[in-house]
Each structure stands twice: as C-alpha cells, then as structure tokens.
Amino acid sequence: GIQVEQSPPDLILQEGANSTLRCNFSDSVNNLQWFHQNPWGQLINLFYIPSGTKQNGRLSATTVATERYSLLYISSSQTTDSGVYFCAVGLYNNNDMRFGAGTRLTVKP
Amino acid sequence: NAGVTQTPKFQVLKTGQSMTLQCAQDMNHNSMYWYRQDPGMGLRLIYYSASEGTTDKGEVPNGYNVSRLNKREFSLRLESAAPSQTSVYFCASSPVWTANSPLHFGNGTRLTVT
C-alpha cells in the first residue's frame, strides 16, 4: 500500500518562530489533507490540497504532486499551534486515506 | 451544534468482553467513519459508511463490526475484545464520500483491554 512519511517527528519552537513540516508519499495521490490534533486530542481539518498552494491565516500548504511531497508552513507560531500535525493521502477521489505518523510540535512561550 | 459526539469517553474491558462504541453526528452528513489511533502510527481506518445503508471495510477491520443505524448514527462493536484492540477510537463524518469533503472528528474514546 501507499507509504506516508512525515518529518521531523518532533519539533520544538519558541513562540514567534516559523516552521516547515514535510510529508512524503510513495505514489501519485488524488487526495491529500492536513490535520491538527491539539493537546486535548481533538482533530481539526486544516487543508485539502492534492496539488498547488493554499493559505489560511498563518498556515499555508504546498503540494508538489509530481515529486510526491507536501509541505505545511506555520509562520509566527503561537502556543496554541502545539499538538500533532498529520498528513493523510489517498489514491482515489474518495476519503479512504492513509495517515502518516505525525509531527509533534511544541511551541514554548 | 454538537458536531460529532462519541460515547463513552473512556472504557476498560477484560479480554473476551464485548462492547459497542456509539457515534452520532448532527451535521446531516452522508458519510461516517471509524478510526483507531495507536502511538506512533497515526490513524487507521477500520470501517466506513459512504452513505446511509452501506458499510465497507477499511484498512484494519478484523475484530470489529459496524452498524449504520440511520443517517445520524454509526456504531462500532467489538464482539470479543483483545489486548491488541487497546487504542483511542475516533468517529468522523463528512458531507459526502468524495475526496474534497473535509472530515469532522469526534473527541475520541480511549479503550483499554486487560
């Protein structure tokens, strides 16, 4: 099956710093989504981005489908950005996706 | 507007016991999902229901059964719990089954099987 690798596994930042999280995948995909799991366990959908670039406030994401990777940028990080960020990919135009193991982000005040 | 509601929040079972995890959504979504989350492994899809009246296996269906009771409710049943089923279980829903249809997750059920 499709392999999804996220890096780095852990990241510690000072508040205000910028960061880039990476998601590599082993096959061409039709579905790629980024999720944030906060420290209380809640999962929030951040982006649907099988290709191209999207921005939402301080967060943006870019997927280069031909090179099989996606990047999530967090600018001017805040303590509320802490948690685990998951990339999930799918081969077909449906929501049967495979999740990466996640990047655990800690933002210190 | 509650979104996706899961019950219970916590459960401890002995090996061989059975239980049903309940999930309900009030967003009029067509598709519903059950995932499990294990440390270091992200989320894995157990079963899904693309629309009312249909259910299909996901990546890790063994040991589980599901029922799409109506459009709102999707339950997950463990017939004979095993320690390997110790995990955090998430229910999710989406407007439709197609790709560009964001998943909305419940808050999870933490299950321990001893």
Once rounded to an integer, what is the mean pLDDT over residues A58-74?
97
Q: Chain B residue closest to A42 (CA)?
A: B107
Mention every residue, 6+ apart, whose C-beta is less than 8 A from residue A10: A103, A104, A106
- Chains A & B: contacts with CB separation below 8 Å: 61
pLDDT at B39 over 90: no
Specify the amino acid at residue A9. P
Q: From CA B16, how far away is CA B48, in angstroms rounded?
A: 24
Q: Chain B residue closest to A98 (CA)?
A: B44
Which pLDDT score, from 0 to 100, does residue B74 have? Answer: 98
Stretch 61-90 of chain B: residues touching chain A, C-beta under 8 Å: 88, 90
Name chain A contacts of B92, Cβ cutoff 8 Å: 43
Which pLDDT score, from 0 to 100, does residue B100 have? Answer: 87
Name the nearest CA neighbour of A21 among A102, A76, A106, A108: A102
Once rounded to an integer, what is the mean pLDDT over residues B86-91?
98
Q: Chain B residue closest to A43 (CA)?
A: B105
Q: From CA A75, how far away is CA A106, in angstroms rounded?
A: 14
Q: How far is A98 from chain B (nearest CA, A)?
A: 7
Name the nearest CA neighbour of A95 among B83, B84, B46, B97: B97
